[in-house]
Structure 1
Amino acid sequence: MMLETDFETDTDITRARAPLEAFKDFIEFAPAGAKAVYWRGTYLANYSVAEFARKLQATGLCELVQRRITQGRKTEFEYVAIKRRAA
């Protein structure tokens, strides 16, 4: 399953039916510097996606960052992977 994106904007993995497979496609096909949002919420609840993201960071394939999104009194985070090098 290849991602359908032009990588001009962040890839939104959270909307994929199979987020782990979409994350794997992102790492395989995205150019260095591309960003993928792999979770949104107050905390990272999808353990399999979180574990995969940590493994990618440990091997140097991506950097993991968070964005704070505040709407009124509600605060959530976007968990973002930034691809660093070829898989």
Structure 2
Amino acid sequence: MHFKSEVIDITSESRPSQVLASKIKNGPPGLQVVYARDWMLSDALLGAAAWALYEQGKVDLVQRRLSSGRKAKFEYIAIKRKEPDLMLAMENPDV
């Protein structure tokens, strides 16, 4: 049986790094949070927040290409894991 994952778009939020952390904390496993949509991730604070969630073993980070060519755009997506990755948590005990 295949379950469709919930997808939340936070790209228009005024404080996306805080909203990302909240959605991942409170959302179900498999939740997909689209946190940016552009040719590159230009918000350093948002990138750091997404990377911190990855290092804590809470999410997988993926990109989806929306268009091709020189003006290609991507969606940056954090997918909540079922359980934190214990190996990553052990490698980063201070996180």
TM-score by length of 1: 0.81
Contact 2:24 2:31 in 1 (8 A): no
Structure with greater Cα Rg: 2
Are the equivalent residues in 2 in contact too, given 1:31–1:86 (CA < 8 A)?
Answer: no
Residue segments in structure 2 that go unaligned for 5+ positions in a row: 85-95
Structure 2 equivalent of residue 74 of structure 1 = 71
Q: Hey, what's the Cα distance between the residues in 2 that align with 1:45 and 1:30?
A: 25
Tell which deviates more after alignment, 63-72 or 14-23.
63-72
Query: 1:31 is matched with which residue?
Result: 28
Provide the rounded CA distance (Å) in 1 between the counterparts of 2:54 and 2:42: 18
Percent identity (aligned): 36
CA distance in 2, matches of 1:10, 1:27: 12
Q: Which amino acid aligns with 1:42?
A: W
Structure 1 moving runs of 4+ over 6 Å: none
By percentage of residues, which structure has more strand? Answer: 1
TM-score by length of 2: 0.74
Equivalences for 1:15-54 in 2 at 5 Å? 15-54=12-51
Distance in 2 (alpha carbons) for counterparts of 1:25 and 1:86: 17
1:24-73 Cα deviation digits (max 9, x unpaired):
21111110100000111000000001011111111110000000001787
